[in-house]
Amino acid sequence: MKKETRYALLAIPLAAFGLAGTTAARADAATDEIARYREMIADGNPSELYAAQGEELWKTKRGPKNASLEQCDLGLGAGVVKGASAQLPRYFKDTGKVQDLETRLMTCMENLQGIDPKSVVAAEWLKGEREKMAALVAYVVTESNGAKINIDMKPAPMKKMYELGKMAFYYRSGPMDFSCATCHGDTGKRIRLQDLPDLRKQAGAAAGWGTWPAYRVSSGQFWTMQHRLNDCYRQQRTAEPIYGSDVTIALSVYLAATGKGGTVLTPGLKR
């Protein structure tokens, strides 16, 4: 299944070269081809596999306390998964922090199971506890598919995180002087053939925030939002953001608040 989809993707650029017209017209046609391809395989999103593993893991007793995550409170009450990730990040009174899905899951793992959050923070992507985290995320976000992005901006810490996230969005640094806004601060732009959502606007932020976490066809990997943001910074040529650090939470609040009211389509399916 996975192999077949990879071969199908490889065929797209070749087909696009065969089309007549100007370079610009051919580029547009190639973009359309990718959109068509996405529709074609949308019915069989490989994320389902990860979500099934995640659901199993959610119910599995493990860690020093030999407990499952079934009593985890993702913001809608202990054990409520349906619709929970559409309302994250959220200010949690018990931790006194604004948390995204992944940092909240780390809190649950620590409190319920006795698993040290460091084991997630220090792991490599798609390995060890980080791999388990990705499966849990796939499960939880599948349960918010179709819901509206609806984060609670009333608590003061959320308002502050929004302001910090907005400042981070425009913060230029590193050898290439890039910020998030360099690529996502205008409407209708592309990198190579990849369309770029304008994350300053409701529609763009909803399209960006609302379709991650996602399965990436090109790498055959499921990426959480922390993974997505990490790779954005990698391409910005900054230093590496620490897993679950405040800058990642602040940016998430900025994106989710800007995209509020948009539809959550998770897990997404990406190039």
Residues that bind other proteins (CB under 8 A): 13, 16-17, 23-24, 26-27, 30, 160, 163-164, 166-168, 170-179, 182-183, 186, 188-194, 196, 234-235, 237-242, 245-248, 250
| Residue 78 or 167 having the CB closest to other proteins | 167
Distance CA 91, CA 94 (A): 9
The distance of closest approach from Cβ of residue 242 to other proteins in the complex, given in angstroms and rounded to an integer, is: 6
Distance CA 42, CA 46 (A): 9
Pair 149, 232: CB distance under 8 Å: no
**Which residue do the tokens 């959220």 mark?**
90
Q: ∠ CA(150), CA(133), CA(179), 5° rounding?
A: 60
Q: 186, 184, 171, 164: which is closest to 254 by C-alpha?
A: 164
* DSSP three-state, residue 19: coil
The distance of closest approach from Cβ of residue 86 to other proteins in the complex, given in angstroms and rounded to an integer, is: 25
Helices (H), 87-224: 101-108, 118-121, 128-142, 156-169, 180-184, 202-209
Catalytic residue, chosen from 72, 108, 183, 232, is: 232
The distance of closest approach from Cβ of residue 186 to other proteins in the complex, given in angstroms and rounded to an integer, is: 7
| Residue 78 or 239 having the CB closest to other proteins | 239
The distance of closest approach from Cβ of residue 114 to other proteins in the complex, given in angstroms and rounded to an integer, is: 26
The distance of closest approach from Cβ of residue 247 to other proteins in the complex, given in angstroms and rounded to an integer, is: 4
| Residue 111 or 230 having the CB closest to other proteins | 230
Residue 245, phi-psi category: left (phi > 0), alpha (psi -120 to 50), beta (remainder):
beta
| Residue 73 or 171 having the CB closest to other proteins | 171
**Count of CB atoms situated within 10 Å of the CB of 204:** 22
| Residue 55 or 100 having the CB closest to other proteins | 100
> Which pair of structure tokens corresponds to residue 101?
């899905």
232 flagged as catalytic: yes
CB-based contacts of 176, cutoff 8 Å, min separation 6 = 236, 237
Catalytic residues: 232
